[in-house]
Amino acid sequence: MRIKRLEILVRENIVKWGKTMAVYKIPYGDDTLQVDVKDKNFMFYAAPVKADFIPEQDKVIADALNHPIGTEKLENLVNAQMKIVIMVDDITRPTPKKKLLPPVLRELEKAGVPKKHIKIVIGLGTHRQMTEEEIETHIGINNILGYELVNIDYKDQSRFVNMGKSENGTPIEVYEEVINADFKIAIGNIVPHIAAGWGGGAKMIQPGVCSERTTEVTHLMACTLQPVLEVCGNADNETRKEMEQIAGQVGLDYIVNTVLDENKNILGVFSGHYIKAHRAGTALAKKIMCPQIPQQADILIASAYPCDIDFWQGCKPYIYAQYGVKEGGVLIFVIEGREGLCGNAPQHEETLREWTLASFEEQKAAVARGEIKDIVGINVPLFHSTVRHRVTTICISKGFSKTDMECLGFNYAKDINEALKMAFDIMGEEAKVGIIPYCGETLVSVEER
């Protein structure tokens, strides 16, 4: 695929251009905000890199299935006697499940696998179950007619099978439908990730279909083994190594991972071995999602989109935004937050509210003392505490109350104009402004000179 060199200033996202000021667009849930920035203050608009062309969507999927990486074709790996499980992610991920499931199912049909031998498992991790409406929207009822759909309930410990421990001592407990399958397929999407470096690959096993007990260990590793700003966009990190070892022990046989643009068009599909195909996908994802900027901004405007359903997901773009703003600068964090602080993982909200403003060392000590029981829930406060003091954060949100923002240590602004005025009052009228419109899937770096 040919990729155009990044143009930091993306003209199609400018709705007005004059001698002294331009108006830039950023996503805000289903809406768009317009941001006025004077020419003298403007530094960069770091959108994902534009592809020269969008491949024909069905063809790019078919080509990937016909040319897997590190394995034979799927139809040659299975047979009619096998029990097959296909794992898909939930509403917090943009994976085009509706497009990917039918061709994968057709490959199994070619091999003679009957529908009754195939189960589709939603890998929720510790997120809430998907509703029927969400299943229709994101997976498609017609796509799964005749197949058993498993909407995991992570709280039902009786459904998990103990498989011993990893080499590092992590207890491995996996949903029984996955363990009972002869062949395991994971469908996912590759984007930057604060704990695993990149999404996709082995993440569908851990945390996707593992118990809370297993996820507690890897999430705590992610928060404490390496500084988070060293992990994002780095597939060679300790937590991903642990996830991949667990996936290997569970027996993840085949993945189908996508790389998307900001409009959810498929730019590439990578199928085959859960590590080899994943790394090929991250190579393309880096070209698309890791634009370079001239330098860090004094004031950064970052939209959490598309990781903007709540702060449980919004913590990711909040971390990614740190790469684009100077220490001591101002971050204007724009997040729709339609499900509040923790609506998609409500069991963790109490932990988030109680511990987010505590220091990293206080949080670690409380975990060591056994004072914090919700180990998965403490991971967002731990990540947050490592970067919160780098910048002053001004937040704009439809879904967060002022109390919610105070809980995160954020300052409230009613709209983007008020937020910019507050930011210039802090940084001075000559402050340089950067914009990251899709910060939920964008990881900037300062260009080498």
Q: Please report, for the domain that includes residue 421, its CATH number.
A: 3.90.226.30
- Pairwise CA distance, residues 24 & 205, whole Å: 40
Residue 3 covered by a domain: no
- Residue 18 has a pLDDT of 52
Q: What is the pLDDT of residue 13?
A: 56
Rounded to whole angstroms, the Cα distance separating 309 from 340 reads 8
- Residue 153: its pLDDT value, please? 82
Residue that terminates a domain, selected from 224, 257, 287: 287
Tokens of 141: 């009822």
Same domain, 125 and 250: yes
Residue 11 in this model has a pLDDT that exceeds 50: no
Residues 157 and 235 in one domain: yes
Same domain, 206 and 346: no
Tell whether the model's pLDDT for residue 305 goes beyond 90. yes
Instruction: Extract the runs of DSSP E, i.e. beta strands, from 39-102.
Output: 42-45, 84-88
CA–CA–CA angle 52, 57, 62 (5° rounding): 120
pLDDT value, residue 19: 55
Task: Return phi, psi of residue 356, to 5°.
Answer: -60, -35
Can you tell me the distance from the alpha carbon of 280 to that of 275, in angstroms, rounded to the nearest whole number?
9
User: Which of 317, 327, 278, 292 lies closest to 28, judged by CA?
Assistant: 317
Q: Are residues 68 and 181 in the same domain?
A: yes
Same domain, 336 and 280: no
Q: Which of 287, 302, 332 is the last residue of a domain?
A: 287
Compute the average pLDDT of residues 6-35: 71
Does 170 share its domain with 311? no
Statement: residue 64 has pLDDT above 80: yes
pLDDT at 406 over 90: yes
What is the pLDDT, as a whole number, of residue 10? 45
Structural domain includes residue 1: no
Q: Return left, alpha or beta for 315; rule: phi > 0 is left, psi -120 to 50 is alpha, else beta.
A: alpha
Residue 429 falls within a domain, yes or no?
yes
Rounded (5°) CA angle 352-353-357: 90
Same structural domain, 93 and 242: yes
Structure tokens at 10: 């993306």
Q: What is the pLDDT of residues 250-294, one digit of tens each?
A: 999 999 999 999 889 999 999 999 999 999 999 999 999 999 999
Q: What is the pTM of this model?
A: 0.89
Mean pLDDT value of segment 428-449: 94
Query: What CATH number does residue 202 fall under?
Result: 3.40.50.11440
87 and 212: one domain?
A: yes
pLDDT digits (tens, 9 = 90+) for 204-254: 999 999 998 999 899 888 888 888 999 999 998 999 999 999 999 999 999
pLDDT for the residue 1? 40
Q: Which helix (H) or strand (E) element contains residue 383?
A: helix 379-387
How far apart CA 16 and CA 13 sit, in angstroms, is 9
pLDDT digits over 323-350, tens only?
Answer: 999 999 999 999 999 999 999 889 999 9
Residue 6 lies in a domain: no
Residue 303 host element (H or E): strand 297-303
**pLDDT for residue 274:** 98
**Secondary structure class of 13 (helix, strand, coil):** helix
Rg (CA), the chain: 22
C-beta separation of 50 from 9 below 8 A: no
pLDDT at position 106 is 95
Classify residue 5: in a domain, yes or no. Answer: no
Indicate whether 448 pLDDT > 90: no
Same domain, 321 and 281: no
153 against 411, higher pLDDT: 411
Residues 282 and 365 in one domain: no
More confidently predicted of 124 and 442: 442
Q: 410 — phi, psi (to 5°)?
A: -100, 155
Lowest mean pLDDT among 62-66, 124-128, 317-321: 124-128
For 100-134, the pLDDT digits (tens) are 999 999 999 999 999 999 999 999 887 888 888 99
pLDDT at 9 over 60: no
265/408 same-domain check: no
Mean pLDDT of 162-168: 94
Number of independent structural domains in the chain: 2
Last residue of a domain, one of 234, 269, 287: 287
> Residues 45-67, buried b or exposed e (16+ Cβ, 10 A)?
bbbbbbbeeebeeeebbeebbee
Give yes or no for a contact between 8 and 291, defined as CB atoms under 8 angstroms apart.
yes
Q: Per-residue pLDDT averaged across 15-21, rounded?
A: 59
What is the domain range of residue 330? 11-49+291-446
In the predicted model, what is the mean pLDDT of residues 126-152? Answer: 86
Supply the mean pLDDT for the chain.
Answer: 92
In whole angstroms, give the CA distance from residue 324 to residue 300: 7
Same domain, 176 and 323: no
Task: Give the pLDDT band of residue 295 (cuts 50, 70, 90).
Answer: very high
Q: How far apart are the first and last CA of the chain?
A: 26
